[in-house]
Every structure is written in structure tokens, then in C-alpha cells.
Amino acid sequence: MDWIGSLIDWRLFGVIAGKVTLAYLLALPIGWEREQVQHSVGVRTFPLVAMASCGYVLLAGTIMTPDTEAARSRIIQGLTTGIGFIGGGAIMRGRGNVHGTATAASIWNTGVIGAAVAGSHFEIAIILSLINLITLHLLVPLKERAGQAGHKAPK
């Protein structure tokens, strides 16, 4: 068992586990909210996106090449594109309406939450999580009022 200790830096392991767990926990309420309003993605997808984003950015931080900054930038760019692709799958069109754009934007935001946690920008991650929840939950009456106003019969 002593050989495992020589392979793993347990202090670093604890830091990484804490960051990945925090990313997961900050995204969980967003996923829960989406699940409660019966969207196709929710309580499982959102935390997994945040956790994976955190993992990719943590991994990017370990890259040591002559082109380190550019390599890290490419990882972030690829992550952004990939999360956009996942979010695109949440958008549905039917009967002249488009649904799922808030869910798609929330998926993208969740990726940024994970990346912020990985970069130890906890303030950013917490603020993004809170604003995302406020937007999804508290702005529903405003959206409904705007929708009713937009569907009035022409005179």
C-alpha cells in the first residue's frame, strides 16, 4: 500500500477533490431547477458539465510546453465549443416557437462555473450560480407577462 502514497500527492488530491466537488455542488441547484420544470436536461447533466469543465481546466493547468498559454487557451476554446454543442441539443423548435434557450444558456454558464472553480475564482463561480438561479426562477413571471403581451390578437 505504501507504493500508492509514492504515486499520489494526497494534499493535491484533496484540493482537486474539493474543487471538483464545489463545481458539482454549485451546478446542482441549477440542474434541480431545470428538472423541476421538466426540461430534458437537469439534475444529472448540469453538475456533470460543471465537474467536467473543472476537470479539463485543472488538467490544462498541468500542461508544460513551450507553448503553454496557447495550449491552455485551446483547451478552453474546445471546452466552450463542446458545451455549446451540448446546449444546442437542449434547444427545440416547434409550432413557430423555440424552446430550451434558457436551458442551453444555463448549460454554457455551468461550464464557466466549473472552469472558474478550477481557476480558484470561487467568487465568480458563486456569483454565476446565483444569478443563473435567479434568472431561471424569479424572472418567470416577467417572461410569462411578456409572452401574453406578445400573443394578443391584432386589432
76, 142 in Cβ contact below 8 A? no
**Helix, strand, coil percentages in the chain from 3-state DSSP, rounded to 5:** 75, 5, 20
Calpha distance 134→94 (Å, rounded): 27
The pairs formed by 131-138 with CB atoms below 8 angstroms and a separation of 24 or more are 132/30, 132/106, 133/29, 133/30, 133/33, 135/102, 136/30, 136/33, 136/34, 136/102, 136/106, 137/33
pLDDT (tens digit per residue) in 67-107: 888 888 888 899 999 998 888 888 887 777 778 888 999 99
Sign of CA dihedral 43, 105, 16, 121: negative
Three cell numbers written together for 145: 407577462
Q: How many CB atoms within 10 Å of residue 80?
A: 15
pLDDT (tens digit per residue) in 22-46: 999 999 999 999 988 876 788 999 9
